[in-house]
Amino acid sequence: MQSPGKSLREALFSAQSEDRLTVGVYESAKIMTEDPDSVSFCVLAMDEEFECDIALQIHFTLIQSFCFDNDISIVRVSDMQRLAEIVGDKAEQLEDAHCVLITNPADGSWEDPALEKLHLFCEESRSLSDWVPEITLPER
């Protein structure tokens, strides 16, 4: 099996090409509230700002809880800048790449092998009591 980081990068690129990415804490919270069944995967990015931002920590706690309650796989990455490089195509997305959601396609018929590998990785991590595993994104 390829590394979880490579699988995550592939899943993000695939979702981005199909316009199934939501970038931003508030935008993600809105989607999860309005249509939680449309969410397939959640990525939380932590950086130096996270350590000092109590509001962001509270948002992360709420997002994690929501993901657990709705059986949405969730991972952490420690390099928000690298995540922003992968998913950001607008200036504001680069500023708020702390949370990224991958949503399901509208027709429901699609399957992404990279995303399936990530779901298995998360399932295995949970069985080892690692509820929000950390993934290292590969360099370009």
> What pLDDT tens digit does each residue of the chain (140 aa) get?
579 999 999 999 999 998 999 999 999 999 999 999 999 999 999 877 777 888 888 999 999 999 999 999 999 998 888 898 888 765 455 567 889 999 987 766 567 889 999 999 999 999 999 999 999 998 87
List, in order of start, the domains of the chain with CATH numbers.
4-128 (3.30.1330.30)
Contact by Cβ (8 Å): 121, 133 = yes
Q: How far apart are CA 123 and CA 79, in angstroms?
A: 23
Q: How many CA atoms lie within 13 A of 139 on its CB side?
A: 0
Q: How far apart are CA 81 and CA 111, in angstroms?
A: 28
